[in-house]
Amino acid sequence: MNVKQKLKRFSELGTFDRVIELEFKNLNENFEYKGNWANEVFKNNNPIVLELGCGKGEYTIDLAKKATGKNFIGVDIKGNRLWRGAKTGHEEGITNSAFLRTQIEFIEYFFAENEVSEIWITFPDPQLKDRREEKRLTHPNFLDKYHFLLNENGLVHLKTDSKELFEISVEYFKNESRGTLTCVSHDINAEPEMREEWQIETFYEQKFRKEGKAIQYLQFQFNS
Ligand SMILES: C[S@@+](CC[C@H](N)C(=O)[O-])C[C@H]1O[C@@H](n2cnc3c(N)ncnc32)[C@H](O)[C@@H]1O
């Protein structure tokens, strides 16, 4: 995609319904929807589900269509990718989907403690180099953030093609004493039953499947 197309997408993104972008310099503790996403953005009291590093937002959009009793928010820093899901949500009037453009590192500025019920992490960058360890979205520093955001019995779902990231992440979650690993699958297609929520394929998932890679999944539940 050339620069002109990217700029067009950036300016269009701001015109779609339920798209939130906040410049870094304007970040503070008083973000208007913090603690009020359901009431203010979605006009209901339904649970909030996040898709972190959502890219084009396939999970956000497809889950929103399937589970109309929940609200879904795709989070990514790349506006030209978010644009795809945000445009679909806007044009199809999927009122229980929204998109937030930010660094996930700043997520606590946007959501209050216990405001979220589930987090999906879909095909995150594996960040396998030691010096990039803290960038992994399953690193213990991020698990602290997820524990803050999630309400009682809140769930984290991870889907990845990367065997290395998966093994590392299983260890991170095993060492997380505030909850339990409730599902570990090294190949979702080899499981006796394909869960409905696994059947959504993201842009990256389609690419990895074409390369013959197995898709791995884990689910972790926080106790409190
Ligand atoms: C490999 S892509 C996967 C995109 C999508 N989930 C999929 O499966 O097609 C990883 C995405 O995570 C986003 N990302 C990675 N680290 C991030 C961070 N710290 N904050 C916000 N977005 C991040 C990138 O911009 C990118 O869109």
The pLDDT value recorded for residue 25 is: 86
The pLDDT value recorded for residue 24 is: 83
Q: Can you give the residue ranges of every domain in the chain?
A: 1-23+31-54+66-112, 114-224
Whether residue 134 has its Cβ less than 6 Å from ligand 1? no
The fold adopted by the segment(s) 1-23+31-54+66-112 is: Rossmann fold (3.40.50)
Low-confidence winner among 3-7, 32-36, 71-75, 152-156 (lowest mean pLDDT): 3-7
Q: What is the pLDDT of residues 190-214, one digit of tens each?
A: 999 999 999 999 999 999 999 999 9
The pLDDT value recorded for residue 134 is: 98
Query: What is the 221 CA–ligand 1 centroid distance (Å)?
Result: 22
Low-confidence winner among 3-12, 75-84, 109-118, 157-166 (lowest mean pLDDT): 3-12
The pLDDT value recorded for residue 113 is: 97
Distance CA 109, CA 119 (A): 16
The pLDDT value recorded for residue 72 is: 98
Query: What is the 76 CA–ligand 1 centroid distance (Å)?
Result: 6
Q: What is the pLDDT of residues 126-145, one digit of tens each?
A: 999 999 999 999 999 999 99
Q: What is the pLDDT of residues 49-85, one digit of tens each?
A: 999 999 999 999 999 999 999 999 999 999 999 999 9
Whether residue 120 has its Cβ less than 6 Å from ligand 1? no
DSSP-assigned states of every residue in 159-204:
EES-HHHHHHHHHHHHT-TTEEEEEEES-GGGSSS--GGG----HH
In degrees and rounded to multiples of 5, residue 118 shows phi and psi of -150, 150
The fold adopted by the segment(s) 114-224 is: Rossmann fold (3.40.50)
Quote the ipTM score.
0.99
If you ran DSSP here, which 8-state letter would residue 64 be given? H
Across the range 6-29, mean pLDDT stands at: 91
Q: Which residues are catalytic?
A: 125
Distance CA 183, CA 221 (A): 9
The pLDDT value recorded for residue 22 is: 86
Decide whether 1-23+31-54+66-112 matches 114-224 in CATH topology.
Answer: yes
